[in-house]
Structures are given as structure tokens and as C-alpha cells.
């Protein structure tokens, strides 16, 4: 497997600035602005990540319509209209506005007229995108159009950008601001929970003493992980250098009503159910991998997931503007969540374990402390030391898990009806990343895998489907 040579080589670049004002900058002033320390951290080795989202469309792609709308809706945002340039003297980086040629950012895929498997073609196209990054001579985003019919869509759009531009929530907000409800073309879609995000209510879940204790234990585990505490070597744990290898992205859709049925039957949250399904699927997949080698799977495996936690208290799509007013940036903390990868006679025990663990995590200030501790280390020691420390902690865990709420209504993207949304990442120091996103009546598990570690990702998808089926039957 070829390694990724260099996601983004940043040098000293001369730019041509706009001759007119655009959102976020004032004409006649020094338009250069430094990247935040968090944004610069995301260029360090081991943290140099790209966010990627593939969007299935129910209608044929109209490239001219998409280009015109991208200019109006995205390019006006200064983060999408600026280069990220490194100062050779001190190593710091700045946003520098530049002229954006939309044709440099919208790529129309060249299609083989004799494609045997369109689904595999799209999957391999995205795999090849993960082999490299975006040239630093232009703003770090692009939009790929694959006008070929697959089993789930008439065409596929792929949006990709460097993680330093924003986190998953701010980019979700941007994407949703570009969509409209099919039932009401003048309205943006509804996303459940967007008005009550973040950690604002964490301290109210338990008494202050309980919050203090849970926070202390969580931070102690972070410290021990940084020093020596590493997860058990398993068929899903990546080896050294995994962040530099290309990724295969696979998806599996399940019924949202099945998830809700278990949620209601057990009186738990949506996240508890999908985490329970994930733990059951991990057990099923790991057991099968060991059986293939005629080996007994080890008992009491330590497997932990890193979970990004949005720290914004609220974020409404209809409040979205192109100005950098707090909507943008990387405002996320992290949780380390232990998985229970053991045989359960009652499949519902996976959900019960997820529920009890998440209650403790929500009743703590772990994400706030990890966020502000990272900012403190950045201020005291700079991005290089912080990058090395962050990589040391996260590489000792096994996977990253993210649950992203999606629109409940059928939507259009620039006039194209949307069949599915599938966000993910590459460049992360894990062999497995799992994103769960809901859309209309479906829930999609999106998996970003390192094929050297997980050579059979479709079997992993099967494990998710079978695990949900067993949990629903038990409920």
C-alpha cells in the first residue's frame, strides 16, 4: 500500500488579492490574519487531517448549476477564499485572501465508458483521493462530481477540505445552509438538537461532587494513556504510521425506526443505541478474525474509542453567516470511551453498558478540560510539542467514533435531490473511524478504514447490520 507522501506542503506563496470587499475582510486594510493555534495544530504530523463528505444525488448532476451556487454560497466565506501560508522566518501561518477560480476547485471525474461496477468505481475514486491532499497554491478545499449511476444514487458529489478550515459541526452547518427542504424550497432543513449542543448542561446532570469525581477519573485516564496505558493489540488497532496510509470508505444503511424502537423500549438515547450496536459489531468482527486464524480471542480486551464532543452551546442553520463570528473554528473536546468487547448472552447488555458509560461521561467536564488543556499546552510549548503529545495519546486508543445528527426532511443540494449523506475523515492516527449520520428514515454507518489493518470492511458492515438485528429482536 502506497503511503501518503505529504498532505499539504506549505511554503511562501505570492498571492493575488481580491480588488473588492468580501465577507470577513474590509477593503483597504491588511487582509492577512494568523491561523489560530488549533488550526495550526491540525497541520502537524499525526493531526494533519482532511474532512471528506460524499453526497448521493437522486438526479443527474448539473455542473454549471453547482459551480454557480458554490461561488455564491461558499467562496464568499473567507476560509474558502484564502490561502494558508507559512512564514519561513518563524513558522507561523496566516490566512491570505486570494482570487478563487471555481474551475480549480470543482473537478469533474473522467469516466470509463466500460465501467463494470459503478459502486466500486466511486469507492476507488474516494480511496485515491485519500492518497494525497490539496495543493497549497489554492484554498484547501475541492468539490468532485462523479456523474455515474450507482445502486444508491444517480450521481455522487464529494466535498473535501482540510480540517484546519473548521470542525465537523461548522462544516455540517455550511453544507446545510446550501440545502433546502423538498417540501418547502424556501426553508433550510431541520436538524434535531442543533439548538442545544455542547457541554452547557453537563454540570447539571449530577451533583457537583459527582461531576468533580468523574472529571478527575477521566483526566487521570488521559494522563496514564499519555504515559503508558495502551489498548490491546487487536485486528482493528492500527500500526505505526497508519495516519499516512490511504483509506477505504464503506457505508451501511439501517432503518432509523429500528434504532428508535430500541431507544423507546430501553428508555435510552439514540447515541446509546448506536454505541451498543457498535460494541456488539466490534465483538462479532474481532471474534471472526481470530476464528479465521484458528486462534482464541483474548478476554478482557482494552479497546477505547476517542469521541469528539462539540463545545458550542447552540448552532442554528438559519443563523449561519459567512462571517467568522464564532460559527467557525475547531471548538471540540474529546472523551475516551471504553468499549466492552465481550460475549453477551443478552445483546441488550451492549446498549446498557453504553448507556451507563455515557451517563458518567456526560456528567463530567472531560471535553472542556481536554480542549482547554490543549490550548494551554499550545500557548506554553507550541504546535510541534502539542502535536507530538496529542498523537501519543490518541494513537494508544483503537478507534474514533462520531455521531452526527442529520436532517429529518428530504433535502436538495443546489436543486439536486439528496439520496444520502456520508461524512468521514482521513489522515487520523487510527485504523478505524466510524461516523454515524441520520437522514430522513435511515441511519448510515460510515467507516474509514486502513486496509492493511482491516482488509475486509464489508464484513465489518455485515457485523453492524446483524448486531442491530439481534438487539432489536431482544428488545
As given in the structure block, the three cell numbers for residue 300 are: 478482557
Query: Nearest Cα to 346, choosing from 191, 165, 213, 470?
Result: 470
As given in the structure block, the three cell numbers for residue 88 are: 519561513
Q: Is the dihedral of CA 318, 323, 168, 100 positive or negative?
A: positive
Query: What span, in angstroms and rounded, lies between the C-alpha atoms of 428 and 251?
Result: 18
Helix (H, G, I), strand (E, B) or coil at 353: helix
Give yes or no for a contact between 445 and 434, defined as CB atoms under 8 angstroms apart: yes
Of 163, 322, 353, 416, the active-site residue reads: 163
Angle (deg, nearest 10), helices 256-266 and 348-362: 80
Question: Cα dist. 167→54, 170, 174, 304, 317 in Å?
Answer: 16, 6, 11, 22, 15
Residue 162 neighbours by CB under 8 Å, 6+ apart: 7, 8, 42, 49, 50, 51, 84, 133, 134, 140, 141
Give the E-state strand segments of 370-439 in sequence order.
399-404, 411-413, 416-426, 432-439
Angle (deg, nearest 10), helices 457-474 and 256-266: 40
Residues in the chain: 475
Q: Is the dihedral of CA 267, 272, 273, 279 positive or negative?
A: negative
Catalytic-residue membership of 163: yes
Give yes or no for a contact between 204 and 100, defined as CB atoms under 8 angstroms apart: no
The DSSP element (H or E) to which 387 belongs, if any, is helix 366-394
Question: Cα dist. 133→52, 161, 244 in Å?
Answer: 11, 9, 11
CB atoms under 10 Å from CB of 453, counted, come to 17
Give the residue numbers marked as catalytic: 163
Amino acid at each position: 500500500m502506497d503511503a501518503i507522501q505529504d498532505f499539504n506542503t506549505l511554503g511562501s506563496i505570492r498571492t493575488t488579492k481580491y480588488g473588492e470587499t468580501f465577507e470577513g475582510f474590509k477593503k483597504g486594510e491588511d487582509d492577512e490574519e494568523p491561523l489560530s493555534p488549533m488550526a495550526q495544530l491540525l497541520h502537524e504530523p499525526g493531526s494533519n487531517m482532511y474532512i471528506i463528505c460524499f453526497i448521493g444525488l437522486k438526479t443527474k448532476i448539473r455542473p454549471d448549476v453547482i459551480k454557480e451556487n458554490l461561488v455564491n454560497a461558499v467562496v464568499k466565506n473567507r476560509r474558502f477564499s484564502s490561502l494558508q501560508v507559512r512564514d519561513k522566518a518563524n513558522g507561523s501561518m496566516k490566512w491570505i485572501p486570494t482570487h478563487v477560480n471555481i474551475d480549480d476547485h470543482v473537478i469533474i471525474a473522467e469516466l470509463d465508458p466500460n465501467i463494470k461496477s459503478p459502486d466500486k468505481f466511486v469507492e476507488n475514486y474516494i480511496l485515491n483521493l485519500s492518497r494525497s491532499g490539496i495543493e497549497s497554491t489554492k484554498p484547501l478545499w475541492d468539490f468532485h462530481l462523479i456523474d455515474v449511476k450507482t445502486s444508491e444514487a444517480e450521481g455522487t458529489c464529494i466535498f473535501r477540505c482540510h480540517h484546519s478550515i473548521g470542525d465537523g459541526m461548522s462544516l455540517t452547518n455550511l453544507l446545510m445552509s446550501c440545502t433546502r427542504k423538498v417540501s418547502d424550497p424556501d426553508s433550510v432543513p431541520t436538524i434535531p438538537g442543533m439548538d442545544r449542543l455542547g457541554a452547557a448542561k453537563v454540570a447539571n446532570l449530577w451533583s457537583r461532587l459527582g461531576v468533580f469525581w468523574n472529571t478527575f477519573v477521566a483526566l487521570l485516564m488521559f494522563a496514564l494513556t499519555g504515559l503508558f496505558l495502551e489498548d490491546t493489540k487487536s485486528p482493528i488497532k492500527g500500526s505505526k504510521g497508519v495516519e499516512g496510509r490511504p483509506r477505504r470508505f464503506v457505508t451501511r444503511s439501517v432503518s432509523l425506526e429500528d434504532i428508535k424502537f430500541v431507544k423507546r423500549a430501553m428508555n435510552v438515547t439514540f447515541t446509546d443505541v448506536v454505541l451498543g450496536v457498535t460494541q456488539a459489531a466490534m465483538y462479532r468482527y474481532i471474534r471472526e478474525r481470530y476464528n479465521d486464524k484458528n486462534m482464541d480471542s483474548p478476554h478482557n480486551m482494552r479497546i477505547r474509542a476517542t469521541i469528539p464532543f462539540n463545545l458550542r452551546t447552540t448552532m442554528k442553520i438559519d443563523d449561519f453567516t459567512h462571517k467568522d463570528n464564532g460559527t467557525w473554528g475547531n471548538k471540540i473536546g474529546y472523551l475516551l470511551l471504553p468499549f466492552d468487547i465481550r460475549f453477551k448472552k443478552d445483546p441488550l447488555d451492549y446498549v446498557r453498558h453504553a448507556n451507563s458509560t455515557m451517563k458518567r461521561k456526560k456528567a463530567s467536564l472531560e471535553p472542556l478540560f481536554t480542549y482547554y488543556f490543549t490550548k494551554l499546552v499550545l500557548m506554553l510549548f507550541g504546535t510541534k510539542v502539542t502535536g507530538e503529545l496529542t498523537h501519543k495519546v490518541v494513537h494508544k486508543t483503537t478507534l474514533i467514533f462520531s455521531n452526527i445528527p442529520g436532517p429529518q426532511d428530504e433535502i436538495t443540494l443546489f436543486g439536486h435531490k439528496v439520496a444520502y449523506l456520508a461524512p468521514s475523515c482521513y489522515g487520523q492516527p487510527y485504523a478505524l473511524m466510524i461516523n454515524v449520520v441520520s437522514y430522513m428514515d435511515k441511519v448510515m454507518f460510515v467507516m474509514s478504514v486502513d486496509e492493511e489493518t482491516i482488509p475486509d470492511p464489508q464484513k465489518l458492515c455485515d457485523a453492524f447490520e446483524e448486531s442491530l438485528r439481534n438487539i432489536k429482536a431482544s428488545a
